[in-house]
Amino acid sequence: MSTAATAAPRSLRSYAIWLAFAVVLAVLPLLFQSSLARSMLTQMGYLVIICLSYNILLGQGGMLSFGHAVYTGLGSFVAVHAMNLATKGQLPLPLVTIPLVGGLAGLFFAALFGYVTTKKSGTTFAMITLGIGELVAAMSLMFPGFFGGEGGVTTNRMYGKPILGITFGPQLQVYYLVAAYCFVSTALMFALTKTPLGRMLNAVRDNPERVEFIGYNTQRVRYLGFIIAGFFAGIGGALASVNFEIVNASDALSAVRSGGYLLFTFLGGATFFFGPMIGAVLLVLASVLLSEVTKAWLLYLGLVFLFMVMYAPGGIASLVMMNLRVAKFGKFGRLLRPYAGLLLAGLLVVAGASALIEMIYHIQLNAGAGSQFRFVGVPLDSESPTSWLASTAVLLVGMVALEFARRGFVRVWARAQEEIEAEIRQREPA
Amino acid sequence: MEFFVISLLNGLSYGLLLFMLSSGLTLIFSMMGVLNFAHTSFYMLGAYFAYTISVAIGFWPALLIAPLLVFVLGAAFERYSLRRVHKFGHVPELLVTFGLSYLILELVQLVWGRATVPYVLPQQLQGPLFTLFGTQFPKSRSFIMMLALLMLLAVWLLLTRTRIGLVIQAALTHPETVEALGHNVPRVFMLVFGGGAALAALAGVIGGNTYVTEPAMAGAVGSIVFVVVVVGGMGSLAGAFLASILIGVIQTFAVAIDQSTASLLNALGLNVTPQTFGWELLSLRVADIAPILPYLFLVLILIFRPKGLLGKREG
């Protein structure tokens, strides 16, 4: 087979993927029409940009940053002030260009702080970004004129004359603005991974010493990557402020925010380009929906994160890709039963453990509201021994079942992998 | 003069507390290459354990039991979680401790609630130790200073004068050789990690009642401790000591100084008013910028001396 013949369908396939992405972005708000769903979709849109920009650092450059909220947050603040100036007529900027203003702000601050942070890599880099993050967060309290103190800065996105009847008042119009930026930014960031700079960034992550031997300045490569990440983070931050029409320094610049980006980018999967997009979707689902269901959601999040780092450091994206590989070789069918077993046992464990956790939380937080409450429809009583015993029993049974299911699954999985390896080896030498 | 001496003493006691925290972090880092993000969470756990124990059986037993409990927890975490991640590299190791800090925070809030707990000083440490120029210096702070110095001495003796200390030092640079000589290096790592956590907990036991015991205490001191470790030079115990004292003293002095650039300029005869250009910047009091001083210090060190005060190699 000639290379041209294999190249053509591949590029065709990538066009199809991008087209599908655009269609999904366009159709989603029509499928989910409630205002909550549309607001969540909007948040997902700009969080995809932010998590992808974070992954330029974490996944592609191997730079673990604890201060990404600095660039999204400062992007938000500059965007808000730009919108307020435009409202007063002092800046001739229509709303569609505001995200670019935020992006330039992110770029500027990344160029400023990145000069210091990217001097180091690895663990030291992580600590310096943490320090810079604290520095900016503490400074925001010192300059209430710009950061608005504790109340934050508010704005109004409906300024200027409507163009083609678009006022950006309704959530749907904001969503499409976010979606457009999301699509273009994603495409640009994907293109970055194919450029020489993107490749060098990977090389600096994997083997900085060797990169220096062939004449590159690793610090410069990290610095450039950092600036680009800052630019897209700023765009994301500006879109967030367009959406909410308010920014608050104690939230937008906080270490908690930076930690959240890190957590979900990792959960989604830092080793694949599309991983952070999964992470962004999960971030919105967890912070909007899960936090409604349970007060203990941060505890669950921490547990999931811990297990993910220990057992699947490639995140959800790597799990998806591993299963896709099995499916490609037509061996997914035999995994269905083990998966069903795992799922059932896993559900039992989750049900038992979460019932226990919820009862403990209930005792600690809502003791005044009586001992009975419902958790996802299941009535629980934090004072009756039946609830405790039943939950513990479910948990124990689940754990035993999970261990059996796991052993069975590992056996089937390992055999499938062996067969795949053998098939690949057979094909190669031909 | 009075202000100077008291601030110096306060700064020293705060700096020594920082050192108790950063020494464990530095030890773990220089041995295992792991930056323990949950280090100050162990500090918080130490304070909360000590609170519960001191309510039950008194402060002095808590001073011993709380660090021991945290030692067991730290060692268990190393054994069952960190060791598993070790093969993936340093970034996942950092991430797993980051996840742990989330978990500990949530669990602490779950067990002890979100408000401050009334963890008070024992009778013997209440009141002033001595009076200087009419200002009293509390016993609790002198106790911190004494304990920190004792701990420094004990750690130094342990590392340089005992057999296990020699094994630790050797495992630092030549783990394979040490393993070939028949020592269980993973177990040494586990003990070091537990030991570092116990040192943090000890700091928590006395820091918790001198300052406040609340869920935010880990985060409040966390980033400062990281600054200390970078400024002192990654992995340098002496550097950590110097940087802790420096940052402790600088911050304590800054908080107490109620002057601004504007008042200085006014004192020099220049007329600076709210109408002057840059008033927001000029009118900032030194006390206002105290919280950011450690971070400014960090940035300056990185620009002018990237390996840290006493660091040996560039990271």
SS3 A214: coil
CB contact under 8 A, A298 and B107: no
**Which of B94, B302, B306 minimises the CB distance to A126?**
B94
A416 lies within 8 A of chain B by CB? no
pLDDT digits (tens, 9 = 90+) for B259-274: 777 677 777 767 666 6
**Which of A132, A135, A310 minimises the CB distance to B81?**
A310
CB contact under 8 A, B110 and A360: yes
Residue A147's closest CA among A254, A298, A303? A254
Provide φ and ψ at A89, rounded to 5°: 85, 15
B29 lies within 8 A of chain A by CB? yes
In this predicted structure, the answer to whether residue A2 has a pLDDT above a threshold of 50 is no
Q: Are B95 and A266 in contact (CB under 8 A)?
A: yes
> Can you give the length of chain A in residues?
430
Q: Domain spans of chain B?
A: 2-215
Instruction: Give the pLDDT of residue B93.
Output: 86
Average pLDDT over residues A74-95: 86
Residue A194 has, within 13 A of its CA and on its CB side, a CA count of: 6
CB contact under 8 A, A119 and B306: yes
CB contact under 8 A, A306 and B103: yes
B97 to chain A: closest CA residue: A306
Instruction: Give the pLDDT of residue A148.
Output: 79
In the predicted model, what is the mean pLDDT of chain A? 84
CB contact under 8 A, A132 and B33: no
Average pLDDT over residues B245-260: 81
A122 to chain B: closest CA residue: B91
Q: What percent of chain B has pLDDT over 70?
A: 89
B299 lies within 8 A of chain A by CB? yes
In this predicted structure, the answer to whether residue A9 has a pLDDT above a threshold of 80 is no
- The shortest C-alpha distance from A291 to chain B (Å) reads 14
pLDDT digits (tens, 9 = 90+) for B222-239: 888 888 888 888 777 888
Grade residue A185 by pLDDT with cuts at 50, 70 and 90: very high
Contacts of B315 in chain A (CB under 8 A): 120-124
Contacts of B289 in chain A (CB under 8 A): 142
CB contact under 8 A, A255 and B223: yes
In this predicted structure, the answer to whether residue A6 has a pLDDT above a threshold of 70 is no
In this predicted structure, the answer to whether residue A3 has a pLDDT above a threshold of 50 is no
Average pLDDT over residues A271-290: 87
Distance from C-alpha of A343 to C-alpha of A306, rounded to nearest angstrom: 19
Q: Are B43 and B24 in contact (CB under 8 A)?
A: no
Query: Residue A192 has which token pair?
Result: 């970055």
Distance from C-alpha of B208 to C-alpha of B120, rounded to nearest angstrom: 8
Does the CA dihedral A215-A217-A222-A223 come out positive or negative? negative
Residue B219's closest CA among B55, B91, B104, B307? B104
A123 lies within 8 A of chain B by CB? yes
**Which of B29, B85, B289 minimises the CB distance to A309?**
B85
Instruction: Give the pLDDT of residue B147.
Output: 86
CB contact under 8 A, B92 and A262: no
pLDDT digits (tens, 9 = 90+) for A39-62: 889 999 999 999 999 999 988 888
Instruction: Give the pLDDT of residue B312.
Output: 65
**Which of A120, A127, A299 minimises the CB distance to B106?**
A299
B95 lies within 8 A of chain A by CB? yes
CB contact under 8 A, B91 and A134: no
A310 lies within 8 A of chain B by CB? yes
Grade residue A367 by pLDDT with cuts at 50, 70 and 90: low
> Contacts from B48-57 at CB under 8 Å and sequence distance 24+?
B48/B108, B48/B111, B48/B112, B48/B117, B48/B119, B48/B204, B48/B208, B48/B213, B49/B201, B49/B205, B50/B119, B50/B204, B50/B205, B50/B208, B50/B209, B51/B112, B51/B117, B51/B119, B51/B208, B51/B209, B51/B213, B54/B119, B54/B122
pLDDT digits (tens, 9 = 90+) for B30-42: 877 788 888 999 9
- The shortest C-alpha distance from A270 to chain B (Å) reads 11
Contacts of A263 in chain B (CB under 8 A): 98-99, 102
| Bridge partners of residue A281, in order along the sequence | none
Q: Are A301 and A263 in contact (CB under 8 A)?
A: yes
CB contact under 8 A, B106 and A298: yes
Distance from C-alpha of A375 to C-alpha of A67, rounded to nearest angstrom: 36
Instruction: Give the pLDDT of residue A271.
Output: 84
CB contact under 8 A, A124 and B234: yes
What does the DSSP 8-state code read for residue B118?
-
What does the DSSP 8-state code read for residue A119?
T
Cβ-in-10-Å burial (0-12, 13-18, 19+) of A145 comes to exposed
In this predicted structure, the answer to whether residue A164 has a pLDDT above a threshold of 80 is no
Residue position matching structure tokens 């310096």: A128
CB contact under 8 A, B295 and A134: yes
Chain Cα centroid distance, residue B287: 22
Q: What is the largest CA-CA distance in chain A?
A: 74
Distance from C-alpha of A309 to C-alpha of A292, rounded to nearest angstrom: 26
Average pLDDT over residues A85-97: 83
pLDDT digits (tens, 9 = 90+) for B44-90: 999 999 988 888 888 888 888 889 999 999 999 988 888 888 888 77
Grade residue A5 by pLDDT with cuts at 50, 70 and 90: very low
Please state which of the ranges A37-41, A114-118, A214-218, A288-292 shows the lowest mean pLDDT: A288-292
B278 lies within 8 A of chain A by CB? no
In this predicted structure, the answer to whether residue A244 has a pLDDT above a threshold of 90 is no
Please state which of the ranges A140-144, A189-193, A390-394 shows the lowest mean pLDDT: A140-144
Q: Which residue has the higher pLDDT, A52 or A10?
A: A52
Contacts of B113 in chain A (CB under 8 A): 364
Using alpha carbons only, give the angle B167, B172, B178 rounded to the nearest 5 degrees: 50
Q: Are A262 and A65 in contact (CB under 8 A)?
A: yes
3-state DSSP percent of chain A in helix, strand and coil, to 5: 80, 5, 20
Residue A423's closest CA among A301, A335, A349, A325? A325
Query: Residue A232 has which token pair?
Result: 């897209």
Q: Where are the beta strands (DSSP E) in chain B?
A: 128-132, 135-138
CB contact under 8 A, A310 and B85: yes
Query: Residue B62 has which token pair?
Result: 């808590």
Q: Please report, for residues A179, B40, B71, B89, the alpha-carbon distance to residue B195 in angstroms, rounded to integers and kept in the order given.
A: 51, 14, 6, 22
CB contact under 8 A, B85 and A138: no
Instruction: Give the pLDDT of residue B123.
Output: 72
| Bridge partners of residue A163, in order along the sequence | A166
Helix (H) or strand (E) holding A247: strand A246-247
Q: How many cross-chain Cβ pairs, A to B, lie less than 8 Å apart?
A: 118
Contacts of B220 in chain A (CB under 8 A): none
Q: What is the pTM assigned to this prediction?
A: 0.84
**Which of B35, B113, B295 minimises the CB distance to A126?**
B35
Residue position matching structure tokens 């500006």: A238
A37 lies within 8 A of chain B by CB? no
- The shortest C-alpha distance from A188 to chain B (Å) reads 27
B292 lies within 8 A of chain A by CB? yes
Residue position matching structure tokens 């899960």: A290
Interface of B with A in 157-216 (CB under 8 A): none
In this predicted structure, the answer to whether residue A315 has a pLDDT above a threshold of 90 is no
CATH code reported for the domain at A31-321: 1.10.3470
pLDDT digits (tens, 9 = 90+) for B125-148: 777 767 766 667 777 788 888 888
Average pLDDT over residues A131-157: 82
- ipTM for the complex shown: 0.81
Grade residue A8 by pLDDT with cuts at 50, 70 and 90: low
Instruction: Give the pLDDT of residue A213.
Output: 92
A138 lies within 8 A of chain B by CB? yes
Residue A28's closest CA among A241, A191, A171? A171
CB contact under 8 A, B98 and A259: yes
Q: What is the DSSP string of B239-272?
A: HHHHHHHHHHHHHHHHHH---BHHHHHHHTT---
Average pLDDT over residues B147-163: 85
Contacts of A135 in chain B (CB under 8 A): 292, 295-296, 299
CB contact under 8 A, A119 and B226: no
Q: What percent of chain B has pLDDT over 90?
A: 8
